[in-house]
Chains A and B, each alone.
Chain A
């Protein structure tokens, strides 16, 4: 069972409220869900829609055909008409004698009760059409409007009236609430991973689609007693966050493409000063302003090569909302362990999208700060002490009695004092590079392979394409011996599994949300292995499993 609902209208019509109520309600009825947002970079007007796909089995990505369209304005009917499934239904205020059209006088009903709650009429009607009771929806209404108690009754009334105004058309069942699941969007997931990791200081400048992280961590700051500061620009964001780390706090910043470009010099500063920092880049198509509210994977090569010259850096990409929690937590530990910048490449697809995931399991999560034990510091403290693995004991100001902590963006000696001699420069570069070697040897995640032992084809992806690729592979597996290789860590590049698979007869099909096959280029430059085929998409929209199937047939197997 797979049911795809689209809520469409213009900005300012309250689509988010409808989505929030539906999401919560479906989840409580025991459905797995996956939602994506397609909205325009504006506050009012335009055409926006949200898709909620529900199933009794795990869902990994968006679906193509629509089963139920909640058209909050007339334009939405015209726009989405061609995407309707055969038995699909359009619920709208448009009177029509077409079979798929169900009319509701939402504004008329709301006018008598509360004209602002017109969307709740749609919600009530939707549940009737699907065949689900309204008890869970009533709870969702009460929770959603908990802070505006005066409107709860109006909304409950309109929920009922919407329910009564239409006929049941489908037979969705209440599957019973599942205790072991949760629903989270990717931006909150990054924030949650960071907070679980002991984040104390988050500095960022609002930028779509990364703002959700900033909003989420800010919503917890008072309760946790931490500080979230909106910076004056992204240059300040990263320099502030680095100052936070230096002062002894777990600190982080987040942004999207253009903001990351402004942070570039600061990432280099983290590299040469060996100051741990986690930077979340929620990718959107660019360059410059690009498509502010859409998705893409075009920042990969930029992230990997973010600042001038060379320094140790890690880039990793969460596969979905669940992974975003664990990967962000891991990023904070690794940044501290290696004293390096770690860039998390998320994107609008998972950042703004929500998914049903197993409840986060914290049993293996441990905050590891890797700070110096003051008892082990003898004599004058050397911030950049030469060690076997290149990692120097890190202290923060005030931590060591009678000792100061100095760091420098100039090339420096062990005490952090400016040097220009070739010998020290060589030794410092080598010291920093050693950290990368250790990271590659001890902490890299090899990509996850799913599929037959001797595949004909392997779909290769990184980050957020993992879900759609899992679904695409399942469809393709009926016709081909096909596997899927999903990368988390992209820099440094884990090569073991890839080299093993590339040595077989399997054809490599790289699937990426960019036009330039950036991961293919990265893999080629690091290993000499190259894609046999590239399936690329750079229109700002995510892949679906069906699209991967279709494009595979068109461009690969032919």
Chain B
């Protein structure tokens, strides 16, 4: 186990006091330390939003790209370097709203990545509009009479898509969250963890108390049973399950490119001379 201070997860942030991002960062650093990963062995891809600032507040390689586009750049690392641990991290707006198309297709690709979604059911950085996971009764400066759409249940969506690893956790239970991150790392393939993380500034509905009252840890659930997983995934009301909802071992993105084998394309070292034969075809 590496010293968790190596990630400098105590850096100053632009998060609000009491933000759910703080315990999430701590759980992440704890998990990475227990997984014995050095900062240079981890690359984090984020979009834009308060959650997406994570690579500035924890020491790992980081690609802090565009809003909604945290997933696409991460695929290149799976091609370039199979050894690197890849974490995609962003909020519910970035991951499920602006980036909705990418999550759909990357579940299909099944790249070996960990996808941490800070789900606070609201847009924080833009000051409190509805997100895809906002409850219908949420009133905001835009949604003045409530949200004009049903909330997305990302876990149900992902299990429905048979994403190879789907879990839910909550920053209210840091130990649980840490364990989920470690399980996601162990899993070969796309691993989504939807994480309840209250926005103390703007979301007056989904508070720490709201979550704590509802979440319960899954016991006696077989995550490899898809029908059972679907049932659990649909549970979202007075009781909300946390834990590994669905898990299936299946070919990853890299597995489907058999000629790559264990090769890291970042090590590909070619000269024009080696490629000259390509010209012959046109003679």
Check B101 against A232 for contact (C-beta < 8 Å): yes
Q: Assuming the A-B contacts A249-B76, A265-B66, A360-B279, are A200 and B60 also in contact, with contact meaning beta carbons closer than 8 angstroms in the complex? A: no
Does residue B257 face the partner (Cβ distance < 8 Å to A)?
A: yes
Q: Which of B55, B81, B271 contacts A247 (CB 8 A)?
A: B81
A250 smallest CB distance to B (angstroms): 9
Given contacts A200-B265, A220-B278, A229-B75, contact A398 B65 (CB under 8 A): no
Interface 9-residue window, one of B37-45, B151-159, B194-202: B37-45
Contact (A227, B265) CB under 8 Å given A240-B72, A397-B40 = yes
Which residues of B, 65-119, contact A by the 8 Å Cβ criterion?
A: 65-66, 69, 72-77, 79-81, 83-84, 101-102, 104-105
A333 to B130, alpha carbons, bound, how many Å?
Answer: 45
Q: For A420, give the chain B residue with the smallest CB separation.
A: B14
Contacts A188-B282, A201-B79, A249-B265 known; A269 to B65 CB distance under 8 Å? yes
Q: Tell whether A417 is near chain B: CB-to-CB under 8 Å.
A: yes
Which of B41, B260, B272 is within 8 Å of A227, CB to CB?
B260
Q: Among A220, A239, A359, find the residue whose CB has the most chain B CB atoms closer than 10 A.
A: A239
Q: Which of B238-253 contact A (CB under 8 A)?
A: none
How far does the alpha carbon of A410 sit from the alpha carbon of B63 in the complex, in Å? 11
The answer to whether A196 and B56 touch across the interface, beta carbons within 8 angstroms, is: no
Cβ of B35 < 8 Å from any Cβ of A? no
The answer to whether the Cβ of B227 comes within 8 Å of any Cβ in the partner chain is no
- State the CA gap A231–B76 with chains docked (Å): 12
- A239 pairs with B66, CB closer than 8 A: yes
What is the number of residues of chain A that contact chain B, defined by CB distance less than 8 Å? 64
A182 contacts which of B41, B257, B282 (Cβ < 8 Å)?
B282
Given contacts A232-B102, A248-B81, contact A227 B73 (CB under 8 A): no
Known contacts A200-B268, A362-B272, A362-B273; A236 and B80 CB within 8 A of each other: no
Shortest beta-carbon distance, A226 to chain B, in Å? Answer: 7
User: In the complex, how many angstroms separate the beta carbon of B139 from the nearest chain A beta carbon?
Assistant: 31
Using CB atoms, name the residue of chain A closest to B270.
A198
A400 at the interface (CB under 8 A from B): yes
- In the bound complex, residues from chain B placing their C-beta under 8 Å from that of A400 are 40
Given the complex, which residues of B lie within 8 Å of A249, measured CB to CB?
Answer: 76, 79-80, 265-266, 268
| Interface residues as binary, A403-440 with B (CB distance below 8 Å gives 1, 0 otherwise) | 11111111000001110000000000000000000000
The residues in A between 367 and 422 inclusive whose CB is less than 8 angstroms from any CB of B are 367, 396-398, 400-410, 416-418
A406-B75 in contact (CB<8A): no
How near does chain A come to B94, taking the closest CB pair, in angstroms?
A: 12
- Contact status B55-A406, CB under 8 Å: yes
Q: Could you say which residues of chain B place their CB within 8 Å of the CB of A408?
A: 56, 62, 64
Chain B residues whose CB sits within 8 angstroms of the CB of A406 once the complex forms: 55-56, 61-62, 64
Whose C-beta in chain B lies nearest to the C-beta of A362?
A: B272
Query: Distance (Å) between the CB of B180 and the closest chain A CB?
Result: 24
| Whole-angstrom CA separation of A241 from B62 in the bound complex | 16
- Chain B CB within 8 A of A505 CB: no
A-B contact count (CB 8 A): 175
Most buried by B among A195, A227, A269: A227
Q: What are the interface flags for A175-192 relative to B under an 8 Å C-beta threshold, 1 for contact and 0 otherwise?
A: 000010111100010001
Instruction: Using A184-B282, A200-B268, A407-B64 as known contacts, say yes or no to A244 and B260 having CB atoms under 8 A apart.
Output: no
Chain A residues whose C-beta falls within 8 Å of the C-beta of B81 in the assembled complex: 247-248, 397-398
Expressed in whole angstroms, the minimum distance between the Cβ of B161 and any Cβ of chain A is: 14
Residues of A within 8 A of B55 (CB): 406
> For residue B41, which residues in chain A have a CB less than 8 angstroms away from its CB?
398
Is A68 part of the binding interface, using a Cβ–Cβ cutoff of 8 Å? no
Given contacts A244-B76, A407-B63, are A201 and B265 in contact (CB under 8 A)?
Answer: yes
Q: Is the CB of A239 within 8 A of B73?
A: yes
> Using Cβ atoms and an 8 Å threshold, which residues of chain B touch A196?
272, 275-276, 278
Q: A246 near B63 (CB under 8 angstroms)?
A: yes
List, in ascending order, chain B residues with CB within 8 A of A195's CB: 275, 278
- For B59, the chain A residues whose CB sits under 8 A away are 404
A76 CB–B CB distance under 8 Å? no
Please indicate which of the listed interface residues A231, A249, A407, A416 has the most CB atoms of chain B within 10 Å of its own CB. A249
Residues of B within 8 A of A362 (CB): 272-273, 276, 279
Are A242 and B65 also in contact (CB < 8 A) when A227-B257, A249-B79 are?
A: yes
Q: Which residues does chain A contribute within 8 Å of B265, judged by CB atoms?
A: 200-201, 225-227, 249
Q: CB of B263 within 8 A of chain A?
A: yes
User: Does B53 sit at the interface, judged by CB under 8 A?
Assistant: yes
Whole-angstrom distance from the CB of B112 to the nearest CB of chain A? Answer: 14
Q: Are B66 and A418 in contact (CB under 8 A)?
A: no
When C-beta atoms are compared, the residue in chain A nearest to B48 turns out to be: A409
Query: Which residue among B53, B69, B263, B271 has the maximum number of chain A CB atoms within 10 Å of its CB?
Result: B69
Asked if B279 and A182 make an inter-chain contact with CB atoms under 8 angstroms apart, the answer reads: yes
Taking a contact as CB atoms under 8 Å apart, the answer to whether B75 and A240 are in contact is yes
Cα A367 to Cα B274 with chains together (Å): 11
Contact A248 B72 (CB under 8 A): no
Q: Is A118 an interface residue (CB 8 A)?
A: no
One digit per residue, 1 when the CB lies within 8 angstroms of any chain B CB and 0 when it does not, for chain A 335-364 equals 000000000000000000000000110100
Return chain B residues, CB-CB under 8 Å to A269.
65-66
Is A251 part of the contact surface with B, judged by Cβ < 8 Å? yes
- A222 contacts chain B at the CB level, 8 A cutoff: yes
Is the pair A397, B79 in contact by a Cβ cutoff of 8 Å? no
Q: Is A131 an interface residue (CB 8 A)?
A: no
Q: Is the CB of B105 within 8 A of A266?
A: no
Q: Which residues of A contact B72 (CB under 8 A)?
A: 231, 235-236, 239-240, 243
The 19 listed contacts between A and B (C-beta, < 8 Å) are A200-B79, A201-B80, A225-B268, A235-B101, A242-B76, A243-B45, A243-B63, A244-B80, A246-B63, A246-B76, A247-B76, A247-B77, A396-B266, A398-B41, A401-B40, A402-B40, A409-B66, A416-B62, A418-B53
Q: Which 9 A-B pairs have the closest CB atoms?
A: A243-B73, A244-B76, A247-B80, A243-B76, A239-B72, A397-B61, A248-B266, A232-B105, A182-B282
Other A-B contacts than A195-B275, A200-B80, A404-B61, 19 sampled, CB-CB below 8 A, are A182-B279, A198-B275, A200-B265, A226-B265, A232-B105, A236-B72, A241-B76, A247-B80, A247-B81, A249-B79, A366-B272, A397-B61, A401-B40, A406-B62, A407-B62, A408-B56, A410-B64, A416-B64, A418-B53
